[in-house]
Structure 1
Amino acid sequence: MSRLPEPLPRALAPLPGEGLPGLTLRLSHRLDLSPTMLFARTGLQTSKGSYTSGRLLLALGDRLTAFAQATQLTPVEAARLTLAPDSERYPPISMSLHPRPNRFFPYDLWVFTAFTRYCPRCLLGDGSVIQQRHGGPWKIRWRLPVIFICQDHQTFLRDGCPRCQRSAHAFDQAGSRLLPLSPHGGLHPAQCRNRETGLTPTRQFCGARLDSMAAQPPQPEITPSLWRLQNRITDLLNEATDPLEASRYFTGLRVMSAILQATWPQGRHFTPTGLSDALDEHVDQLKRRAGERKDHAERLRWDAPPRSAVATAILLDGAATLLALERPALREALRTMLPSAPAKSSKQWGRTWLHLKKHASTQLRDDVEAAVANYL
C-alpha cells in the first residue's frame, strides 16, 4: 500500500461550489508553489514526469484519500470538488465516468473538460482577506453546459478571455490536463493561463485578469424565462431531487437541443424573442467551418452544446419549450422540423439516439422515435 502524503503546512477551506482546479490554484498560490508541485504533494500526480489528467474533474477515484489527507479535508469535502456528486442526475457525467470499452473519445460533449465558463465577479471574491489574497472560486458546475447564468450575480457566465480570445483554461484535447501551464507558478488564480503564440521566453502565457469587469464585453439582459430555466436546472441537480426525474429532463433537453441545432432556423419561434442572434452565429459558424475543411465537417456534431453561455441559454430555452408541449403539439413541431435534418444514421447526430434510448422517458422516446421513423 502506498504511503499517504504529509499534510500541507497550510490549508484552505473549499469555497461554496468550488471545483478541484480552483482549490488547487488558490492553494498553490497561498503556498507559493506551482500547481504541478502541489499536484505531486497532494497525490494527484502519481509519478515524476506524469501529468494530472482532466479526468479528475469527474472523480478523484483512488487519489481521494491521499488528496484529502494532504489538504486536510474530509473525503466528502474532497469528493465535492468534482462532478461525481451530480452523476446520478446528469447522465453525461456517468457516461464519462464509465465510457464504453475502446471508445476513442471517452468524455461526453455535455461535460466541459477542455475549458470552463466563469463569472468574473465570483473570481474577484467576496472582499474577505483570504479572497482578496487568493481570489474567489472557480466553480465545478461551470463545467456543465446547462449552467449558463451565475445566480449569485445574475449575469450570464463568460467563456473567453478578453485578451487572448481563447476559452478559459483551454486545451485542444478534452480531458487532457486538469490545468493549463501547471508547471508555471506565480500566477494569481484569476489570471488567464492560456499559452499564446508569439510570446517571448519570459512570457509564455496570456496572464490577463479574468476577475476584471472593465475588460469584459457587454452581455444581453437575462429574460425571465431564462432565469426560471436556470433555477429549475439548479433545483434538478439538488441532492433532494429524484435522480430519475432529473436524468430524464436533462436527456430531453439534450435531444431537443440536437434537433433544434440540426434543423435551425426551423425552430426559431420556440426560442426567446430578440436573443436568437447568438444561436444564429453559433450554427452559422459550425456550418461555415464544416464547409471550409473536411476534418471540421467530419467532427460536426449537432448534439454538442455551444461554448457561449448566451447561445446555450437560448438553445436550452427552446428545448425546454418543446418539452413542455402537449404530445400532439410536440409531434406537429417535430413533423415541421425534422424533414430538414440529416439522416438518422449521420454521425452529425453524435450520441443523441443513444441518450434517447437509455435515459429518456418512455413517452418522449416513443414520440421522437416515431417522428424520426417518419421523416428521417
Structure 2
Amino acid sequence: MPPNSPAAPDPPSPSAERARTPLGSALLRSIPGGYDITGLPLQVPPLPAESAPSWLRRLADRYTLTPQQILRVLGDEGRPTTLAALHAHIERNAAGITQHLRIPEDDLENLCCAPALDTLTAGYLQLYHHRAWQPSPASRYCPECLTQEPTAWAAAWRNPYTVICPTHAAILHDLCPSCGQRPFATMSWLGQVAEPWICPSRRPAPRGRFGRPKRGVRPFCGHDLRTVTRQPATDDRRPDPGPTL
C-alpha cells in the first residue's frame, strides 16, 4: 500500500493573518459608517484668541491627565521647556493632532500666532529702542473671565500693555494671592492635573537655615483664581503696569 500522504496544514485563522501583516491595523479600522477609532473621543477645539497653554490645560482636564501626558498621546515624547518650544511642538505635530482630535490645522496655527499687540510691541521696541523683545510666558488673568464656560486664558493677557479686561471693565491680576507667583511663568504646569481656573504655579520653595531654598518637589498652589477679588477699572484707580519690558 502506498504510504499515507501528510495531512494538509490547517489554514491560518483571519486573526493570525492580521497579526502577521502590517495591514492588520488598517483592516481593523475599516468600519462602516466612516467612524475612525484612531481619534480621541472628546473634542476640545481651541477658542478664538486663546493661548496654547490654556487650550492644552482644557484638553488635559477633559481626560483627567496632565498636559505632558496629552502631548505624549499626540505624538511627542519630549517635554517643552519654554513657551516657544510648546508652539514648535504643536506646529511639528499638527498633522497628528488634527487626526487625533479632528481639529482644523488653521485653528492650531492660530494658537501659535502672536497676538497683534505682541507684534506691535516688538516692532515699536525694535524701531525706537533697538531692542529685541519676546513676550513673557507669564500671564495676567481676569477672575470673571475664568468663571465663563468654557474657561480660557487669552493670549493677549501675556502682553505687558494688556492691563484691563475690556469685557468686564476690570484690572487684570498679575499674581496669585495664595502663592504670590505669576501664572504660567514656568512650564511646571505641564505636570499638573487641574481645572483651567486653578493656579498653575508651584508654591515657593521653603528656606533652610541659611536662607537657601530647600531642595525637593514643591507642591502646586491649587488656588481657585475665580475667587480673587475683582478690581474695577475706574479713573481714580490706575492699574499696576507690571514688570518692566
The TM tier, using the shorter chain, reads 0.5 to 0.7
1:92 to 106, 115, 122: 122
The equivalent of 2:63 in structure 1 is 31
Query: Which consecutive segments of 4 or more residues in structure 1 shift more than 6 A?
Result: none
The equivalent of 1:71 in structure 2 is 101
The 2-side partners of 1:191 and 1:21 are apart by 13
Counterpart contact for 1:83–1:141, Cα < 8 Å:
no
Instruction: Report matched runs for 1:141-290 at 5 Å.
Output: 141-171=156-186, 177=187, 180-185=188-193, 187-196=194-203, 197-198=205-206, 204-212=219-227, 215-216=228-229, 219=231, 221-223=233-235, 278=240
The 2-side partners of 1:38 and 1:170 are apart by 20
Higher fraction of helix: 1
Q: Does 1:108 find its partner at 2:133?
A: yes
Counterpart contact for 2:117–2:159, Cα < 8 Å:
no
The 1-side partners of 2:139 and 2:197 are apart by 13
1:239-259 CA distance string (max 9 Å, x none):
xxxxxxxxxxxxxxxxxxxxx
Instruction: Report matched runs for 1:51-66 at 5 Å.
Output: 51=80, 53-56=82-85, 60-66=90-96
The equivalent of 1:261 in structure 2 is none
Output the amino acid matched with 1:18.
E
Counterpart contact for 1:116–1:169, Cα < 8 Å:
yes
Highest relative contact order (Cα 8 Å, sep 6+), 1 or 2? 2
The 2-side partners of 1:145 and 1:58 are apart by 20
Output the amino acid matched with 1:108.
W
Output the amino acid matched with 1:188.
E
Counterpart contact for 2:91–2:108, Cα < 8 Å:
no
Counterpart contact for 1:83–1:140, Cα < 8 Å:
no
Output the amino acid matched with 1:193.
P
The equivalent of 1:124 in structure 2 is 147
- Counting aligned pairs with the same residue, the percent is 26
Query: In structure 2, the residue corresponding to 1:160 is in which secondary structure?
Result: coil
The equivalent of 2:22 in structure 1 is none
Counterpart contact for 2:199–2:224, Cα < 8 Å:
yes
The 1-side partners of 2:239 and 2:112 are apart by 34
Output the amino acid matched with 1:31.
Y
List gaps (5 residues or longer) in structure 2.
Answer: 1-37, 126-130, 207-213
Counterpart contact for 2:202–2:218, Cα < 8 Å:
no
Query: In structure 1, the residue corresponding to 2:112 is in which secondary structure?
Result: coil
Following superposition, the deviation at residue 182 of structure 1 comes to 1.7
Counterpart contact for 1:156–1:219, Cα < 8 Å:
yes
1:37-84 CA distance string (max 9 Å, x none):
0111123xx335x33531056664333333333332111111112234
The 2-side partners of 1:156 and 1:32 are apart by 32
Counterpart contact for 1:191–1:210, Cα < 8 Å:
yes
RMSD: 3.5
The equivalent of 1:83 in structure 2 is 113
The equivalent of 2:210 in structure 1 is none
1:269-320 CA distance string (max 9 Å, x none):
xxxxx556956xx7xxx9xxxxxxxxxxxxxxxxx33xxxxxxxxxxxxxxx
The 1-side partners of 2:60 and 2:119 are apart by 32
The 2-side partners of 1:275 and 1:184 are apart by 35
The 1-side partners of 2:53 and 2:139 are apart by 10
1:183-220 CA distance string (max 9 Å, x none):
232x2221112111349x998111000112xx43x635
The equivalent of 1:328 in structure 2 is none
